Every structure is written in structure tokens, then in C-alpha cells.
């Protein structure tokens, strides 16, 4: 990836050998691997590892989950808050697992609509709740910067 970044810098009209850019290819490579680490994680396994039988049928809500993702169309950031609610049907999960699955899906090239659906589908598949709701509020740099 570093070679491609160096080539990209040249295509942009920059000198990849100038002092400020010498380590840029390595930094960009590390950053992109971190920002897309969700491809190496299994969100369903995360939820299933902390699933507990519980006779509870009131809505469980986890609000204001921070997320950061990259738009798949421009590879520019979009970020904001995720709110997740579900009504258990004999099974619950640890509350900390909800932000974890949000991060796994967000750390992939995304669109907001798919991110919303993937979170919902994962909870539905892992817990078979009576209902699930996912709301995402986001700022898209691909819209705001361009």
C-alpha cells in the first residue's frame, strides 16, 4: 500500500521525497488498516459470546454511541451517534457489546444506510428480539468538504 500512496502523492503534484512527506505512505497505510479493521472481526460472535437468558421484555436502549467510518464512495470520513434499542425475547446481551458491534461495522467502507441495517440485522440474528431499532445521526465529510 505504501508504494501506491507514494504514487498518489506524485499524481497529486507533490514530491513524496520532501521531508514532511517521507513517512506519509507508512502513516496512511497504518491509518487505513486501522480504519478498516472491522473486516477482520465477527460482530455476531461478539454478541453471541455475551448472550444471557433473561425473562425481560422491556425495551433496552443504548444511546449516543460514537462512531467513525469511511464513506465507500469517496473514502472520506463520516461520523456521529448511533442509538440502538431492542425488546428482548428471552435473551439479552451485555450492554457493552452493542457499541462493539457498531464499531466493527463502522470500521469498514460504508454507507449510512447499510451500517444501520447491518447493526439491526446482527442484533436480530443473535438475539431474536421482539423488535430492534437503530437510528444514526451523522456528518458526512464527503458532502461537507466538497
Residues annotated as catalytic are: 71-74, 112, 140, 142
> For cell 514530491, what's the residue?
15
Sheet holding 77-87, edge to edge: 109-110, 60-71, 77-87, 131-140
> Residue 9 CB: number of other CB atoms within 10 A?
18
- Between strands 77-87 and 60-71, the pairing is antiparallel
Helix boundaries (H) for 61-140: 97-106, 112-127
Cα 97–Cα 103–Cα 105 angle in degrees, nearest 5 = 105
- Using CA atoms in the order 129, 133, 139, 140, what is the torsion angle rounded to 10 degrees? 70
Amino acid at each position: 500500500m505504501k508504494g501506491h500512496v507514494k504514487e498518489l502523492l506524485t499524481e497529486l503534484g507533490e514530491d513524496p521525497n520532501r521531508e514532511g512527506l517521507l513517512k506519509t505512505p507508512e502513516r496512511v497505510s497504518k491509518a487505513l488498516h486501522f480504519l478498516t479493521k472491522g473486516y477482520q472481526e465477527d460482530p455476531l460472535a461478539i454478541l453471541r459470546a455475551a448472550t444471557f437468558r433473561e425473562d425481560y421484555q422491556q425495551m433496552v436502549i443504548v444511546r449516543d454511541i460514537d462512531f467513525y467510518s469511511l464513506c465507500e464512495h469517496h473514502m472520506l470520513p463520516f461520523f456521529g451517534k448511533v442509538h440502538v434499542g431492542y425488546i428482548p425475547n428471552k435473551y439479552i446481551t451485555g450492554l457493552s457489546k452493542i457499541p462493539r458491534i457498531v464499531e466493527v461495522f463502522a470500521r469498514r467502507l460504508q454507507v449510512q444506510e447499510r451500517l444501520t441495517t447491518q447493526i439491526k440485522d446482527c442484533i436480530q440474528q443473535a438475539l431474536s428480539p421482539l423488535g430492534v431499532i437503530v437510528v444514526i445521526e451523522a456528518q458526512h465529510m464527503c458532502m461537507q468538504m466538497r
